[in-house]
């Protein structure tokens, strides 16, 4: 598992270096003009996008933490196709200004990891859950099944997942990354108690999406 960094996630280092070189080159050849200003702004945005700060894990029994920074775009009862069960689905959308590090929302053991190449569909559309490039991590959390599905967005299809079946995850532990606009679908047991509503802004690890009943 990758440790968070307050500077930038390692997945963003190539982009940071490229943006820095571009900003320095623009400043050297054109001076402090519009082009160099745009390049320095781009560098600042890249740093912002790939930030990966440590987060404090709430001490709340049965809490389901947000796996990503972003906004809750949908809450519905749905079929979890990765664990073959009925579930409560919470979708968190990450825009181009949110940090894109993904973290586990529960403690547990990974039961299965499934990757699907898929195609590119706007992540705001229902079809994206089944058609886009995606990666699903099914977790057994003390008798409860929780599924985290990373769904790629329109801008770039690049999902990274660093775990495998049998691995143990702790709440707030980093397990993956998605670059440039994406969504994470969280499938919970149907008796989970919601703590958020559509439209709410959430932060990975620190925001509680729902709570699980005692097994």
Query: How many CA atoms are closer than 13 Å to the CA of 36, on its beta-carbon side?
Result: 10
What pLDDT score does 3 carry? 41
Please report, for the chain, the start and end positions of each structural domain, with discontinuous segments joined by +: 10-49, 63-211
Backbone angles phi, psi at 28, to 5 degrees: -65, -45
Residue pair 163/137 in contact by the 8 Å Cβ criterion: yes
How far is the C-alpha of 158 from the C-alpha of 213, rounded, in Å?
35
Tell me whether residue 213 is exposed, middle or buried, using C-beta atoms within 10 angstroms of its C-beta: 0 to 12, 13 to 18, 19 or more.
Answer: exposed
Residue pair 86/51 in contact by the 8 Å Cβ criterion: no
What pTM was computed for the model? Answer: 0.83
Residue pair 189/144 in contact by the 8 Å Cβ criterion: yes
Query: CATH assignment of 63-211?
Result: 2.70.70
List the chain pLDDT tens, one digit each, 215 residues.
444 445 667 777 777 888 888 888 888 788 778 888 898 898 888 877 777 778 889 989 899 999 999 999 999 999 999 999 999 999 999 888 888 889 999 999 999 999 988 665 554 545 445 667 889 999 999 999 999 999 887 665 578 899 999 999 999 999 998 877 688 999 999 999 999 999 999 999 999 999 987 76
Which residues face 202 on adjacent strands? 70
What pLDDT score does 39 carry? 87
**Judging by DSSP bridges, how do beta strands 144-152 and 134-141 pair with one another?**
antiparallel
What pLDDT score does 21 carry? 87
What pLDDT score does 189 carry? 96
What pLDDT score does 130 carry? 60
Backbone angles phi, psi at 41, to 5 degrees: -65, -40
Which residues face 108 on adjacent strands? 169
Q: Which of 66, 141, 182, 207 is catalytic?
A: 182
In DSSP notation, 85-122 reads EEEEEEEEEE-TTS--EEE-SS-EEEEEEEEE--B---
What pLDDT score does 127 carry? 46
What pLDDT score does 1 carry? 40
182 is catalytic: yes
């Amino acid at each position: 598992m990758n440790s968070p960094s307050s500077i930038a996630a390692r997945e963003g280092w190539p982009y940071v270096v490229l943006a820095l070189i571009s900003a320095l080159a623009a400043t050297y050849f054109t001076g402090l003009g519009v082009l160099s200003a745009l390049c320095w702004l781009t560098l600042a945005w890249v740093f912002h996008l790939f930030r990966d700060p440590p987060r404090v894990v709430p001490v709340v029994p049965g809490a389901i933490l947000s796996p990503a920074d972003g906004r809750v775009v949908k809450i519905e009862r749905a079929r979890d196709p990765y664990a073959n069960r009925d579930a409560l689905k919470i979708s968190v959308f990450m825009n181009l200004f949110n940090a894109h590090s993904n973290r586990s929302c529960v403690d547990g053991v990974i039961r299965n990891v499934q990757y699907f190449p898929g195609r590119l569909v706007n992540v705001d559309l229902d079809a994206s859950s089944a058609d886009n490039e995606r990666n699903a991590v099914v977790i057994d959390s003390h008798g409860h099944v929780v599924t985290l599905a990373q769904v790629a967005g329109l801008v770039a299809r690049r999902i990274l997942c660093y775990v495998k079946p049998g691995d143990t995850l702790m709440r707030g532990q980093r397990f993956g990354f998605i670059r440039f606009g994406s969504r994470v679908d969280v499938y919970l047991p149907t008796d989970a108690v919601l703590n958020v509503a559509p439209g709410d802004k959430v932060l990975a690890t620190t925001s509680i999406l729902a709570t699980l009943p005692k097994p």
